[in-house]
Amino acid sequence: MAIKFYMDEHVHPGITKALQQYGIDVLTAQQAHNLDIADEEHLQFAASEGRVIFTQDEDFLKVKNHHGIAYAHQRTPLRQIIEGLVLISQALTEDEMKNHIEFL
């Protein structure tokens, strides 16, 4: 099954748009009406939807059980983030991402 992403609420909208142009299933916190909720709630929502969460928030790196996290530092260029997320969607499975953090 193809990787689906859930974007943390502070993700640049250009990343989401680019991924959608690649045909990748992306849902934003804004679209899910999940603004200003706790990190744990974002992770629970992503898991309930079968989605890997993409974030640039280091706090997510402390979590042990999750459906998958793709993380990029705040200063990572958008192009590098997009290319990394596309590669994750092409190279990894949903099962491989469970409880795994992919650093971009």
Determine the pLDDT at residue 64: 84
Does 1 score more than 90 pLDDT? no
Per CATH, the number for 5-103 is 3.40.50
pLDDT digits (tens, 9 = 90+) for 53-78: 999 999 888 888 899 999 999 999 99
CA distance 72 to 56: 5
Whether residue 54 contacts residue 70, with contact meaning beta carbons closer than 8 Å, is answered with yes
pLDDT digits (tens, 9 = 90+) for 34-55: 998 988 899 999 999 999 999 9
Tell me the two tokens of residue 94. 């949903």
Residue 50 Cα to chain centre, angstroms: 11
Note the pTM of the prediction, 2 decimals. 0.92
Determine the pLDDT at residue 84: 97
> What are the domain boundaries of the chain?
5-103
